Structure 1
Amino acid sequence: MLAVTEPGVHTITAMIATQLFKTSLLENVFGYFACLDPCPMLLLQPKDESAQQFSKERISPLVRVTPTLREIVGTRRMRSGDESILFKGFPGGFLALAGAGSPDNLARRPIRVVLADEVDKYPVTREGDPISLAEERTATFGNWLSIRACSPTVEDQSRIASSYAESDQRRASVACPHCGHRQFLDFFHHVKWERADDRERSHLPKTARIFCEACGAAWSEGQRLRALSTARWHQTRPYQCCGGLHEPLEEYARAWRALNPDDSHDAALSQVWDWWASDLHAVYRARCPTCGRWPLDNRHAGFTASKLYSPWTKDRPADIAAKFLAARGDEALKQVWWNTQLGQPYRAHHGKDVRVEALAARAEHWSGEVPEGVGVLTAGIDVQGDRVEIEIVGWGRDEESWSVAYDVIEGDPDSPDLWKEVDAALLETFQREDGRPFSIMAACVDSGGHSTQTVYSFAKDRIGRRVWAIKGESARSGQRSPVWPTKKPSRKTKAAYRPVIIGVNAAKDAIRNRLALDKPGPGYMHFPHDRDMGYYAQLTSERITVKEVAGHRFFVWELPAGRANEALDCRVYAYAALCGLQHFGLKLNAMTERAALPYGELPATPAGQSEAARGLVSQLA
């Protein structure tokens, strides 16, 4: 609340869990300005109907039970004509309520304070973004204020999440009731529960409690509620200063872990933040440890909080844990849990952000064309209007993967010359450092876009080499199709050549989840040092999107306008080729173990056939 009167603040973003303090913030801001600093205000709701509902259920009762407001809002003098459900007048100002979907509501009169509620539900009008239109009306006021409040929705589609990312990203710390250490409550870091001593190791969410990250003590519910009274807000946005990148939360974690037993807990805080407080404001300002200045301005104050900060009896850690466990395996329920319980935008890849820079930073050098650990090679081929792009992927134990090669073959996809080059690329042999040769065991070629009949002919002539024409099938009403179809073809299907219909959304789910892995092992994706930033940008280009059909909400992957995704498509098709091999009997782990033996220990393979290919043939025989 003090951010409203904090010097320098003009924009406030509240990205918070449901039923926490969003509505109270809007009500109190209205009451403060109406009583102490009267001015013209605008409160936006997604629709006119919801604006009327908010006025009837929130503003009118607030005025009715607050003596000071009752005396000034809607007095006889103000009721003379302008007073209505959507207009609350008072001496020196007014509160107008409106739906964000009507441009006329956003362009009438000058406004000093904009209160934008449920911003993720706003439509984009013919004149542009409703929030930007409303904030344009504050141009004549030097002391203008805009407040945006909402629980977030889906990553990259959430207005409130984008707004919070632009802010100084404040988070609240609370003091441990046992040791006094200040910490930023995080469900995955602080909340733990027991598991039953049975075969299934069943979860016992009723035992969930908060555990201090410093002393390890468990908090009772009473102690959690008392800890909330110690909450203080900190600027946590990473910043550049004195030639380096500073991340306040990471620096604080290092600082408190380095404390001596006799040191005060405030010693760690003072290494990262300065406490800046008066009767009108209270916040920990981020301080550069080198020069000592405040590198983050406070013009845009952003706040986020989960239900671990809620005082309500239905928001105990045990309740949050139970809902977390109930949502497992259901994408729609997982989104609801992330949005309403954590106050965070939903990410389909288990909540882990995948940054292009981080992927590029983990690029590797390996000896030989094929690195150690690879047992099988597959290829994914994406067909564009003026070129074909191919990625060769090596697969190892538990589908750990290596990007072995990536080529772009330019030319007309309907030209035989281009497909001769593609065929030569698929026949290429790749060698490991010890000389072991690897051939491409299977390839999937995109037939859903350009030059469909040409792709059919190319793949049909090479079906014996496991070159498959494929077409992507999107999710139908939220049901993910398997990456490789399990349904047996009918007689009619067998009689004519048809592409393999692959589950691209399921494949992209798997790839995005694996991109978020940061340690080699099952599913981890390795990249060579010569991939450029464009490759990683394409690999992470698509975003999860919410669709609704007949009242059923589901998630699909879509490409934002202006982005390229050829690298992602190639990886999807290479993964589909692996799934096809496994469908026809390939034992990947066994093949990887066989390939790991020194080259000379295995009998020579027939001419033109790799050891791995012979292994598959023997399995299918």
Structure 2
Amino acid sequence: MTNLTDIRRQTFEALRPPAKRPLSDWVEENVRLPSSIAAQPGALRLWPHQRAIADSIGDPAVERVSVLKSARIGYTQLLVAALGHYAVNDPGPVLCVLPAEADCRHLMTGAIEPTFAESPALRQALKADTTERDTMLSRYFPGGSLAIVSANAPRNLRARTARILFLDEVDGFEVDARGEGDPVALAEKRTLSYGNRKIVLGSTPVDEETSRVCRAYEKSDQRIYECPCPHCDDPHEIKWVDIRWDADKPESAHWVCPSCGCVTEESGKSAMIRAGAWRATKPDVKGHHGYRINALVSLLPNAAWSKLVAEFLEAKRSPTTLKAFTTTLLAEPWRSDGDEIDTAALSSRQRPHDLQNIPEDSLILTAGCDLQDDRIEMTTAAWTRDNDIRVLAHEIVWGSPLEDATWTELDDLLTRHWQHPGGGILRIDAAVIDSGHHADQVYGFTRARTSRRIVAGKGVPGFARPSLSWGNSRKTRLALLGVDGLKLAIHQRLNHGDTITVSDSLGQDYLDQLAAERLVTKYRKGHPVRIWEKISGRRNEALDCLGYAIAARQLVGINLESRESELSQRQVAPKSTVARSRFLDN
């Protein structure tokens, strides 16, 4: 019995146009890069690993292309060139979906417009449509159109149909909280009316359990880029495990052949990469080309093996930075080895430091405050030059946030100063106060203290969210906090290494609160989603406060060398003063 997939395949085969010249040839002849976005402006010259991807995107016999990629491989330039091809050679409705609105604007103004303006063959391809409300992200060309939309708003996808669909950084897409479904599935539905559709999906991976690009790659013919060893000629995929270097000498980085054990130095990298070729590990899969590629094969100067090793040596100090290195440069999904914090092991993180015994390596102090109906809780954290965190105190101001006296006492805490071991004076450099409860009171308190980097904060869901960004409110300076990512960073730091230490003056209850939530995978409309789940019987104010204190670090942009110099000079502690505003007098 013929199923729906077979019918779609037959329809696709019947409607596909005859094969044309390879897209890679057309790109190199017609696409030019401006100096504003390319280190080597002029005609776009594709690397060997880019040519096959380009040809798959332009091949009418291929319905889907999935690219599991790293950064620094020229994917954005390739995407822009492919958009140019469809605007000029194979017009139709084109939809490009990116994680956020800012990504859409950057792609259009920072990549598409400059490249099209520089390329004579593309210069007249797109024009602004003055009848559209948002002309910047919606353009028309003879026989087709281009729309660039954010995956954050499902309405962006419902209002479009497309024959050509580009999905970029899909692991950064967030599932709509209202349950409208996975953005990738919603976008693909917009192509169902076209039997000759093209779907190009690419992304750096994030978490193994929820990675969309990994799932897409697994359904493809799973191509890998293999390079012949200059010594034995055996082809191999260049992997991180085969990159070696002398201890603490990243400049000695080299590749060791898994077959013969011979060494290829950095100087031989270019020739080896240029001699490489793609191999489909699942050749029985038809119509779906999948590519897996990492920065080790990139020929960009900033992807030299020695530079990548130097970045690894810096990144491995913290699980947070190690995850970024693993996912964005090695194109490997992050494999979590535990979704809960071992509370018994947390006591090993305690150190004899507090507000009266500030560690000598402390350079910055930040605070995070969480409001409850009968109290305000505040965590004070010190930061080192390497951004290690020393939790010095967790204090409670008892009293209703509706009472002025409660805020007066909080202000007293925020205006304190302490003698640094080097002789200088440390004060709280920045603070974030959660406005989820009693927002009006929080705004009234922070509005007069913005110059002291004391701001209101509001948590927003989504692991792809930055730890701190700014809201659009004109009434107050509101920090939008990526709380999912902040909690993940805390978990990773506490489960690995010693980049967070905790004052030994804080008891077991505080440690239990740090471990009050666990990361679980649940399914929404059949798609895996990672969410934080509060462990029954535990309070989580300490976890929240530490997250806000970490976000507050983004508010401090001081020169660390100058701060070190200041703290090394003996100063007399000034008398404490309380900065009062009219809010406190009401």
Q: Normalization by structure 1: what TM-score?
A: 0.47
Who wins on radius of gyration, i.e. which is larger?
Answer: 1
Q: Normalization by structure 2: what TM-score?
A: 0.49
